[in-house]
Amino acid sequence: MTMQVQGLLVLLYFYLMFPDNIIGLWWAVGSPLVMDPNSICRKSRRLAGKQREICRKEIEIVEEVANGAKLALGECQYQFRDRRWNCTTSRRMLSRVLKTDTRESAFVYAITAAGVTFAVTEACNMGKLLQCSCDNKVQDITTDGEWVWGGCSDNINFGYRKSKDFMDARKRKRRGDLTTRIQLHNNEAGRLAVKMYMRHVCKCHGLSGSCALKTCWRKMPPFRSVGARIKEKFDGAIQVEISNDGKALETKSKTIKPPSREDIVYSENAPDSRFCRRNRKWGSLGTKGRICDPKSMEVGGCDLLCCHRGHKSEKVTLKENCKCRFIWCCDVQCETCVQDKTIHRCL
């Protein structure tokens, strides 16, 4: 992992966990910036009650929280790989995005809460945590007779609870505090994108694979599908404002139904064009130099990605492994193939 990405993960972790006085907490970790749970817990003085308790008694949970943030960052970059904002790895630019209540910051909060939920739950299943294991309680639920509960299900309730303890610990719903309510809502939407879409995985039993009986258990969806679901919610995000009594969120437009717990919400209606050029205010690096597809009229196409500025084409020579074969035992040998390719970059 590059030092730049390590630094970004630390920023993401501290900004999401401790939004107040972020600069002081940022430097409290020291340099080099590494997601080390011991450093996080030892040098941070602003931990809330549940966070402090986990640091004191369950330091290994903090490591999985960090793994969840890393997982979320990678998924964010994948989901936005063809967008003008591509979940930049610039620490300064990301911090500016997170200081807004835009759709982009909403996605970051949601995908991070989902990543933490996923990572902690997976750690339970793999036996990495003493506090939990896989979940066999679900076997008490009756079935239709065509299959039975077996194996051990993913312990989603434990992962959900620890994600909530960390992500929501320092945020309190104060009257009229729109930003906090939006962040808490999006945190929950991210967690539910994992919890509400658990799937059945089954194994067949019977003579000659007849599948006369199936043994089934519950498993989390692949995190790629979690990211795609949150990205879909991002595309349909709902603009909200604080209610007159200051105690709830309500839609900006009265013709739109209130957001569900799984919806992504935001308050700042900023245009996507703000990411066309470098803009420190919005945390934008611009799209100059980004690779695009001149044949596509969709996102990722040169026309949209380059913001109608045009693009340039260049020929490059790529070397890659090809014609690989397995050599007993135990090696893989490949040839090197050379390919000339034309790539297109935004002006």
Rounded Cα distance between 181 and 185, Å, is 6
Using one digit for the tens of pLDDT, what is the confidence trace for 106-140?
999 999 999 999 999 999 999 999 888 887 776 55
CA atoms within 13 A on the CB side of 70: 17
**Domains observed in the chain:** 3-279 (no CATH), 287-347 (3.30.2460.20)
Rounded Cα distance between 219 and 202, Å, is 10
User: What does pLDDT average to over the chain?
Assistant: 82
Alpha helices in the chain (DSSP H): 3-17, 22-28, 37-43, 49-57, 59-79, 91-98, 103-125, 156-167, 178-195, 223-235, 302-305
Rounded Cα distance between 243 and 103, Å, is 20
Res. 184: pLDDT tops 70: yes
Residue recorded with tokens 């717990």: 261
Res. 34: pLDDT tops 90: no
Q: What is the pTM of this model?
A: 0.83
Least confident residue range of 9-23, 73-87, 184-198: 9-23
| Of 92, 120, 81, 101, the residue nearest 180 (C-alpha) | 101
Question: What are the residues facing 291 on neighbouring strands?
Answer: 345
What spatial distance separates the first Cα and last Cα of the chain, rounded to whole Å? 30
Residues in the chain: 347
Using one digit for the tens of pLDDT, what is the confidence trace for 270-309?
888 889 999 887 888 899 999 999 999 998 999 999 999 9
Res. 40: pLDDT tops 70: no
Sign of CA dihedral 91, 95, 96, 98: positive
pLDDT band at 3 (very low <50, low <70, confident <90, very high): low
- What pLDDT, on the 0 to 100 scale, is given for residue 307? 95
- What pLDDT, on the 0 to 100 scale, is given for residue 123? 95
Residue type, 250: E
Residue recorded with tokens 């911090």: 95
Query: CA angle 85-36-115, nearest 5°?
Result: 45
Q: What is the DSSP letter of 301?
A: B
Question: Under 8 Å CB-to-CB from 247, ≥6 apart: which residues?
Answer: 173, 175
CB-CB neighbours of 24 under 10 Å: 13
Query: CA angle 185-190-251, nearest 5°?
Result: 35
Higher pLDDT, 144 or 268: 268
pLDDT band at 1 (very low <50, low <70, confident <90, very high): low
Higher pLDDT, 39 or 66: 66
Using one digit for the tens of pLDDT, what is the confidence trace for 317-346?
988 898 899 888 788 899 999 989 899 999
pLDDT band at 19 (very low <50, low <70, confident <90, very high): very low
Range picked from 18-27, 69-78, 227-236, 333-342 for highest mean pLDDT: 227-236
- What pLDDT, on the 0 to 100 scale, is given for residue 29? 32
Residue range 24-35: average pLDDT? Answer: 33
- CB 22, CB 14: distance < 8 Å: yes
